């Protein structure tokens, strides 16, 4: 319900330099970003004001108050909004945080002293009329950085969901926001079919699939939003079956949820599975603990009934991917490097066994019940050196049967695959872009 003692100010006067066109008019879920933010403010604030440049003549379904300034800077919009607001507390939104929630708007308003902002900076934020004089002075003096003005104010920092605060600065960012919103909607729809209502879903990760926590339920959904999956339903079903079987045999895998059933489920054109949300213990596991847990997982995978695909199938999929964002020279280099490293690795003639497939630290949870492996969708049959290549050297050294030369080749082969997978979906998330460049650089240095 809207708070009648709260004013919402929407800033629509940005230059949108990186986006290429006016961000306010970009569309997400059938609405422009400006309409979307205006609706959010209408749901939370008793008074709403849009501030921008009247000369822009944006075709919006609500009036725009001219900020009265010759500069394009958020501080001009904040000053104009505070001057016009009837309320003492004003929540100010830019148009480019489309996943912000009602809960976050309320949290900013409730925490406001002179100002309240998230750790990422001054917008979105809440400002009191008491801050107006200091902001007017800075604007008149040409000091346009709103972030710097916070040091002069009694500013409270409010911890908000970081995924809600991701800015839409480029068309790729808009595509990512649409993907995340669709994933959230799919999770809510499936959960409602099992009687779970009143959820506050939040994104935990989005660098491969989209991982959503279903607060307040102790549940997580894995939503298959990666465009690189070969057969979504089969892969998700196999992962759930493997995790269930390994856990039933006492192996260190997190089993899937049972209520609601794990799935796969389908909604909004997406497939998803449910998993328990577990509290993670503090601290990093020791290399010895990681190595021992991975051995237990390998032993359990060796006894499961679910068939494991060969590692070669994953390598072939990597070789077939296209990376349109990659320069032609780098594309040829990666393709040739993958072929050569596969040839070298195969030449060792190593024995094969059940593997996790990508046992890096992000796929290992330190729970109260001990270490538990997740993300078994890449489980396969292959040489032990492949899994060891994902470990820290201290943990890999605790597998005495490894061929050291094969391990070095496997590490480069892992880098080649990661580089190809990440370049094939560049722009999905900052972590993906960083990994793409890191592993390409590593291969350039090594080969």
Are 180 and 246 within one domain?
yes
Domain assignment of residue 160, given as a range: 3-165
In 53-194, DSSP assigns E strands to 65-66, 89-94, 115-117, 125-128, 155-157
End-to-end alpha carbon distance in the chain: 61
- At residue 24, the pLDDT reads 87
Helix (H, G, I), strand (E, B) or coil at 40: helix
Nearest Cα residue to 420 out of 311, 309, 339, 362: 339
Place of tokens 């330190």: 366
Question: pLDDT tens across 235-266, in order?
Answer: 999 999 999 999 999 999 999 999 999 999 99
Helix (H, G, I), strand (E, B) or coil at 216: coil
- At residue 1, the pLDDT reads 54
Q: Which long-range contacts (CB under 8 A, 24 or more apart) does 417-423 make?
A: 417/314, 417/315, 417/318, 417/338, 419/334, 419/443, 420/318, 420/319, 420/321, 420/323, 420/334, 420/338, 421/228, 421/318, 421/321, 423/323, 423/325, 423/326, 423/330, 423/334
Give the domain CATH number at 411: 3.90.1200.10
Does residue 377 fall inside a structural domain? Answer: yes
Nearest Cα residue to 81 out of 158, 146, 157: 146
Distance CA 74, CA 115 (A): 15
Q: For the chain, what is the domain count?
A: 3
**Is-contact 237 272, C-beta < 8 A?**
no
Give the domain CATH number at 74: 3.90.550.10
Are 307 and 424 within one domain?
yes
Are 352 and 420 within one domain?
yes
Does residue 282 fall inside a structural domain? Answer: no
Distance CA 429, CA 351 (A): 36
- At residue 17, the pLDDT reads 58
Distance CA 7, CA 296 (A): 58
Are 263 and 334 within one domain?
no
Are 314 and 433 within one domain?
yes
Are 142 and 265 within one domain?
no
Extract the residue ranges of the chain whose pLDDT is less than 70. Answer: 1-4, 14-20
Are 360 and 336 within one domain?
yes
Does residue 281 fall inside a structural domain? Answer: no
- At residue 70, the pLDDT reads 86
Give the domain CATH number at 218: 3.30.200.20
Single residue among 241, 276, 311 that ends a domain in this structure? 276
- At residue 286, the pLDDT reads 93
- At residue 372, the pLDDT reads 95
Distance CA 275, CA 252 (A): 15
Single residue among 141, 165, 189 that ends a domain in this structure? 165
Are 189 and 325 within one domain?
no
Q: Which long-range contacts (CB under 8 A, 24 or more apart) does 171-180 make?
A: 171/19, 171/20, 171/26, 172/427, 174/26, 174/28, 175/427, 176/206, 176/427, 176/428, 176/429, 177/28, 177/98, 177/99, 178/28, 178/29, 179/206, 179/210, 179/225, 180/99, 180/206, 180/210
Are 372 and 429 within one domain?
yes
Does residue 123 fall inside a structural domain? Answer: yes
- At residue 243, the pLDDT reads 96
Distance CA 211, CA 226 (A): 11
- At residue 2, the pLDDT reads 56
Are 234 and 311 within one domain?
no
- At residue 71, the pLDDT reads 87
Place of tokens 């050569």: 340
Helix (H, G, I), strand (E, B) or coil at 434: helix
Single residue among 255, 276, 297 that ends a domain in this structure? 276
- At residue 406, the pLDDT reads 97
- At residue 249, the pLDDT reads 92
């Amino acid at each position: 319900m809207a708070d009648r003692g709260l004013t919402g100010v929407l800033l629509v006067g940005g230059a949108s330099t990186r986006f290429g066109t006016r961000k306010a008019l970009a569309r997400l879920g059938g609405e422009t970003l400006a309409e979307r933010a205006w609706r959010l403010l209408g749901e939370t604030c008793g008074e709403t004001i849009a501030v921008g440049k009247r000369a822009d003549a944006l075709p919006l379904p609500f009036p725009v108050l001219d900020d009265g300034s010759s500069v394009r800077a958020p501080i001009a919009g904040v000053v104009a909004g505070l001057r016009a607001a009837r309320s003492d507390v004003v929540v100010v939104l830019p148009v480019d945080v489309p996943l912000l929630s009602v809960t976050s708007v309320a949290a900013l308003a409730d925490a406001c002293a002179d100002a309240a902002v998230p750790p990422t900076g001054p917008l979105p934020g809440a400002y009191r009329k008491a801050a107006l004089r200091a902001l007017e002075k800075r604007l008149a003096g040409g000091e346009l950085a709103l972030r710097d003005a916070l040091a002069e104010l009694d500013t409270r920092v409010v911890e908000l969901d970081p995924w809600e605060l991701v800015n839409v600065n480029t068309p790729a960012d808009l595509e990512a926001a649409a993907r995340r919103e669709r994933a959230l909607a799919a999770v809510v729809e499936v959960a409602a079919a099992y009687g779970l209502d009143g959820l506050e879903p939040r994104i935990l990760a989005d660098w491969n699939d989209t991982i959503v926590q279903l607060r307040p339920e102790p549940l997580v959904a894995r939503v298959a939003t990666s465009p690189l999956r070969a057969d979504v339903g089969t892969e998700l079903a196999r992962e759930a079956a493997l995790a269930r079987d390994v856990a039933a045999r006492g192996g260190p895998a997190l089993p899937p949820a049972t209520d609601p059933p794990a799935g796969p489920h389908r909604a909004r054109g997406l497939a998803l599975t449910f998993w328990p949300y577990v509290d993670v213990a503090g601290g990093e596991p020791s290399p010895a603990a990681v190595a021992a847990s991975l051995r237990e997982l390998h032993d359990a995978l060796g006894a499961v009934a679910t068939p494991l695909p060969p590692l070669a199938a994953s390598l072939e999929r990597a070789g077939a991917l296209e990376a349109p964002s990659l320069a032609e020279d780098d594309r040829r280099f990666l393709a040739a490097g993958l072929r050569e490293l596969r040839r070298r690795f195969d030449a060792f003639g190593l024995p094969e066994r059940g593997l996790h497939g990508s046992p890096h630290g992000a796929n290992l949870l330190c729970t109260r019940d001990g270490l538990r492996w997740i993300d078994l969708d890449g489980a396969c049959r292959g040489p032990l050196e492949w899994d060891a290549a994902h470990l820290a050297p201290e943990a890999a050294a605790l597998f005495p049967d490894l061929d050291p030369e094969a391990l070095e080749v496997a590490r480069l082969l892992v880098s080649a695959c990661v580089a190809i997978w990440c370049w094939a979906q560049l722009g999905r998330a900052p972590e993906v872009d960083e990994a793409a460049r890191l592993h390409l650089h590593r291969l350039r240095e090594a080969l």
